[in-house]
Structure 1
Amino acid sequence: MKMTYSSTVFCALLALTSTSAFAQATVQSCNREVTFDEPPKAAISNDVNLTEMMLVLGLADRMVGYTGISGWKTLDASMTAGIEELPELSSKYPSKEVLIGAGADFFFAGWNYGMKVGGEVTPESLEPFGINVYELTESCIHIGEKAAASMDDMYDDLLNLGKIFDVKEKAVDLVEGYRAELESYTAGLSLLDEAPRVFVYDSGEDAPFTAGRYAMPNALIEAAGGTNIMNDLEKSWSTVGWEAVVERNPEIIVIVNYGEVTAEEKRNFMMSNPAFADLDAVKNDRFVSLEYVEATPGPRNVQAVKKLASAFRVE
């Protein structure tokens, strides 16, 4: 077929316009606006929950590996199947050399989720090596102000990843599905006379590590109809004194299950310690366990809200 000069130019301009629209995306990442001229081809995610966000968007084939899982947690069967072809490049936080050596062009991490303020791996330290960073929204509190944790933190991360990797429609469908699923579920729940007082027990015997207002469990508890007794703690995850827990007398204790100490061992510690004998949660043996991947921002937050809502309504 003979093509005229003008039609050739038109087709070239059309192709260029389509490519630009297809490739470029600008997203808000904590206090930065980050522009991607093309979707990443060699991504690395840190931690089990961030990795699962990549998987639900079908991005395993855009990844060269993951970090920060086996040093603390284990993968369940569904996640193992999703990343069986990918190497774990570092069992805990990766070094800058690990990321560069893997040929990464993208790192999905967060503050205290693979990066530390003042550490060697930051968006600024990776930029000269052509590695763009998208920061987990929940973690932004470590470098500036943000609102209390909400389900929107997780939804926004999925939507932003959808823009970055040019799978926007899939991300929108997922988020709309999650929202509808939760709305439908909570609409069918019985009303509570008042919000139960809830304490999140992550770890620690001398002093408990717990979730403040900026940690995802605060959002999960509220979405399920409860009140986090540490919702005035102006931090995400932090250590508090047992005295404050006793004084606030939780009716339900949410245990985060991961690491060497099992959820049952954490429960036994609280049930057998005389200092906690008068807590309503201990007297009535009202404990509920969340897996780490449920308690941190990710697709399983919807499942976690359902689990908590059900536990809050059992006397």
Structure 2
Amino acid sequence: MAMLGALLALALPAQAATTYPLTLDNCGVAVTFPAAPRRVVTIKSTATELLLSLGLGDNIVGVGFQDGPLPEHLATDLPVLSEKLPSQEVALEAEPDFIYGGWESNFAADGAGERSTLARLGVATYVAPPACRSVQPPRLTFEALFAEIAEMGRIFDIEDTANALIAEQQAVLDDIDADRRGLTALWYSSGIKTPYVGAGNNAPAMIMQALGLANIYADVDDGWTSASWEAIVDANPDIIVLVDAVWNSAEQKKLLLAENPITSQLDAVIHQRYLIIPFPAAEAGIRNVPATADMAAQLARLDFAE
């Protein structure tokens, strides 16, 4: 796949160098970069993994709030500032000129610092666009994810590298065939008494649509939502997507579903019709495309003959 990406990149026109100062609108905030960032703090796995995928590991001076181990092809040692959200004081100790956050809520007075405060201190900030809340993002698409990659290419003056990565991801996406059996699905993220599930406008919706699955909570205009087991049983989805998190594994979810008197009667539970996705791949980011390809392969192996 790396060779395919390189060949596709050769077919793309060379990009002009970024002109600095570069000013971008990010979640309704004007962010100015006087030069390509050299010292970056990343918060959340989505931010860390995108920069690593662009070959920018040497620029990362600290990470916080990582959602799980790095995928094998990106594995490297990075300075961990905090297992959870680092405070402004801790983040600034790394002397960053750029903080890249996976959630807008990362930039709060009791978190890494408010964006306006950090700007006055000479630290540029960026929120992953699908995670904007002050400005409501449109329904997530793979094209929007690719636009974030392209924007990082502009920020770091590596547009050719960003375009090569986009081409590689697009090639993987193009090879995914949507299932045509008309299957319904539940995206089970977390929760025991009250399940937290994938809804209609973020990564779960985007991935399920690419797989050809009808999300039973597609009409909820949000990325995720609280649901009820009774409503889920009434919908009786053909498939259940299980998010595999360190703190709530897919195996724990399977056990819960099988032992709960209500959910144990679901066809998907009885016949073990599950798709598994790691938590860091379940949020909008660089892992979505390969995760969708992997889930398509899982889906193709499921037996509906019973």
Q: Which TM bucket (shorter chain)? A: 0.7 to 0.9
Alignment-derived partner of residue 6 in structure 1: none
Bigger Cα Rg: 1
**8 Å contact from structure 2 (residues 240, 268) kept in 1:** yes
Query: What is residue 176 of structure 1 aligned with on the other side?
Result: 167
CA spacing shift, 1:68–1:149, aligned 2, 3 Å: same
SS of the aligned residue for 2:102 comes to strand
Letter in 2 for 1:73: G
TM-score norm. by structure 2 comes to: 0.85
**Aligned match for 1:309, one of 292, 296, 301:** 296
- Identical residues among aligned pairs (%): 28
Deviations 1:90-132 (A, max 9, x none): 1111111112221111111033663459966332232111111
Alpha-carbon distance in 1 for matches of 2:274, 2:17:
52
Instruction: After superposition, give the CA deviation of every residue in 1:74-98 in whole Å (9 maximum; x if it has no partner).
Output: 34444432xx1x3111111111111
TM-score (norm 1): 0.83
| 1:280-307 CA distance string (max 9 Å, x none) | 3123210111011221222221111112
In 1, are the aligned partners of 2:41 and 2:99 still within 8 Å (CA)? yes
Q: Which structure 1 segments of 5+ residues have no match?
A: 1-18
* SS of residue paired to 1:172: helix
201, 205, 210: which one pairs with 2:197?
A: 210
Structure 1 118/95 Cα, relative in aligned 2: closer, same or farther at 3 Å? closer
8 Å CA contact 2:194, 2:229 repeated in 1:
yes
Counterpart for residue 6 of structure 2:
none
Aligned to 2:5: none
Does residue 1:38 correspond to 2:35, yes or no?
yes
Please give the alpha-carbon distance, in whole angstroms, between the structure 2 residues aligned to 1:112 and 1:190. Answer: 32
* RMSD over equivalenced CA pairs, Å: 2.4
Distance 2:208 2:168 in 1: 20
Unaligned 5+ segments in structure 2 are 1-15
Partner of 2:285: 298
Deviates more, 1:28-37 or 1:225-234: 28-37
Shift of 1:255: 0.8
- Give the alignment partner of residue 193 of structure 1, picking from 176, 181, 193: 181
Q: How far does the alpha carbon of each residue in 1:219-272 deviate from its partner, in whole angstroms, 9 at most, with x for none?
A: 111111112222222222332222232222211111111123321111111122
Aligned equivalents of 2:61 and 2:283: distance in 1?
Answer: 23
Report deviation, 1:152. 2.3
Asked if 2 retains the 8 angstrom alpha-carbon contact of 1:225 and 1:309, the reply is no
Matched residue count: 287
Question: Which of 274, 294, 310 is 2:261 aligned to?
Answer: 274
> Quick one: distance in 2 between partners of 1:159 and 1:107?
18
Tell whether the 8 Å contact from 1:211 to 1:218 is kept in structure 2 after alignment. Answer: yes
For residues 215 and 30 of structure 2, what CA distance do their matches in structure 1 show?
Answer: 32
